[in-house]
Chain A
Amino acid sequence: MKDVREALMVGRNSEGKLVRRPISPFMIPSDYKLQMSSGSSILHRITGVALGAGTLLFTAWLVCAAAGDGAFSVIQAILGSWFGLLILFGFTLALFYHFCNGIRHLAWDAGKGFELPAMHRNGKLVFASAIILTLAFWVIAFLVG
Chain B
Amino acid sequence: MSKETAAPTIHIRRSGLGRARGLGTAKSGSAHWWAERVTSAALLPLVLYFVISVLILKGADHAEMAAYMAEPWNTVLYIALIAALFSHLSMGMQAVIEDYVRTDATRIITLLVVKGGIAILALASLISVLKLAFS
Choose one: B20, B58, B65; the contact of A141 (CB below 8 Å).
Answer: B58
- The complex places the Cα of A95 from the Cα of B47 at a distance, in Å, of 9
Please give the distance in Å from B50's CB to the nearest CB on chain A: 9
Contacts of B10 in A (CB 8 A): 1, 7, 10, 18
Verify B8–A18 contact, CB threshold 8 A: yes
Is A135 in the interface zone, CB < 8 Å from B?
Answer: no
Q: Which residue of B lies closest to A51 (CB)?
A: B89
Verify B11–A1 contact, CB threshold 8 A: yes
Interface members, chain A 18-52 (any B CB < 8 Å): 18-20, 45, 48-49, 51-52
Q: Which residue of A lies closest to B6 (CB)?
A: A20
With contacts A55-B85, A144-B58 taken as known, whether A4 is within 8 angstroms of B125 at the C-beta atoms is: no
Verify B7–A55 contact, CB threshold 8 A: no
With contacts A76-B60, A99-B44, A141-B58 taken as known, whether A8 is within 8 angstroms of B19 at the C-beta atoms is: yes
- The complex places the Cα of A18 from the Cα of B43 at a distance, in Å, of 49
Residues of B within 8 Å of A, CB-based: how many? 42
The A/B interface has a contact count, at CB < 8 Å, of 106
With contacts A7-B10, A19-B8, A99-B44 taken as known, whether A55 is within 8 angstroms of B55 at the C-beta atoms is: no
Q: Mark A41-68, 1 if CB is under 8 A from B, else 0.
A: 0000100110110011011001101101
Q: Which residue of A lies closest to B3 (CB)?
A: A1
Verify B37–A55 contact, CB threshold 8 A: no
Contacts of B19 in A (CB 8 A): 4, 7-8
Interface members, chain B 1-32 (any A CB < 8 Å): 4, 7-12, 14, 19-20, 23
Contacts of A99 in B (CB 8 A): 44, 47
- The complex places the Cα of A145 from the Cα of B58 at a distance, in Å, of 8
Contacts of A19 in B (CB 8 A): 7-8
Please give the distance in Å from B101's CB to the nearest CB on chain A: 13
A interface, how many residues as a size bin?
Answer: 35 or more
Contacts of B58 in A (CB 8 A): 141, 144-145
Chain B interface (Cβ < 8 Å from any Cβ of A): 4, 7-12, 14, 19-20, 23, 37, 40-41, 43-44, 47, 51, 55, 58-62, 65-66, 69, 85-86, 89, 92-93, 96, 118, 121, 124-125, 127-129, 131-132
Chain A interface (Cβ < 8 Å from any Cβ of B): 1-2, 4-5, 7-8, 10, 17-20, 45, 48-49, 51-52, 55-56, 58-59, 62-63, 65-66, 68-69, 72-73, 76, 80, 92, 95, 99, 102-103, 105-106, 109, 137, 140-141, 144-145
